[in-house]
Amino acid sequence: MLSATESRRSEQIVEDGTAQEFLSFTLGPEEYAIDILKVQEIRGYDAATAIAGAPKFIKGVINLRGIIVPIVDLRIKFGIGTVEYSPFTVVIMLNLGARVVGIVVDSVSDVISLAADRIHPAPDFASSIGASYVLGLGTLEDRMLILIDIERLMLSGEMALVDEAVA
């Protein structure tokens, strides 16, 4: 039996029973996925202009075709291992309503389609991500993906620092 919270998460993921597409990416040893409809573009990692006094997980800002975009390093934000930038490191540009935000990830894997029966409620656990930002766990063959509500995470109160850093 699903709890009320788990039920709401399931409704957020698939409302009509059809498959939903996600962009999968890695952070350290884990594989995550976000709603593909939130992705504007994927770019190679370039150094951002640092903002004095910004939290460590905010790498800075970049100018993306005339739009100043804050760049958040999810590995730093989630406290996952040592941060190393490689040729596979990318920035996923997210379109979150009126806001564009970039997230730095280790690598992008692929676009996957998950049917409702492949999405399972996440167990209640304490993590650096925060259980309220985890939509569920997606399974695909031998892969397990942590499905992140990226819009809720990026627009949360703890991320309000992003707006303050570039204001």
Among 167, 113, 99, CA closest to 145 = 113
Instruction: Let me know: does 125 contact 135? Beta carbons within 8 Å.
Output: no
Residues 9-44 pLDDT 10s: 334 444 556 789 999 999 988 999 999 999 999 999
Rounded distance, CA 92 to CA 10, Å?
A: 25
Cβ burial of 152 (10 Å; 0-12, 13-18, 19+) is: middle
Helix or strand or coil: residue 151?
helix
Among 106, 122, 113, CA closest to 140 = 113
Return per-residue pLDDT of the chain as tens, 167 residues.
333 333 333 344 445 567 899 999 999 889 999 999 999 999 999 989 999 988 889 999 999 999 999 999 999 888 887 888 888 899 999 998 888 999 999 999 999 999 999 999 877 765 556 677 888 999 988 889 999 999 988 888 766 434 444 44
Q: How many CB atoms neighbour CB 117 within 10 A? A: 10
Rounded distance, CA 52 to CA 154, Å?
A: 20
Q: What is the pTM of this model?
A: 0.81
Cβ burial of 33 (10 Å; 0-12, 13-18, 19+) is: buried
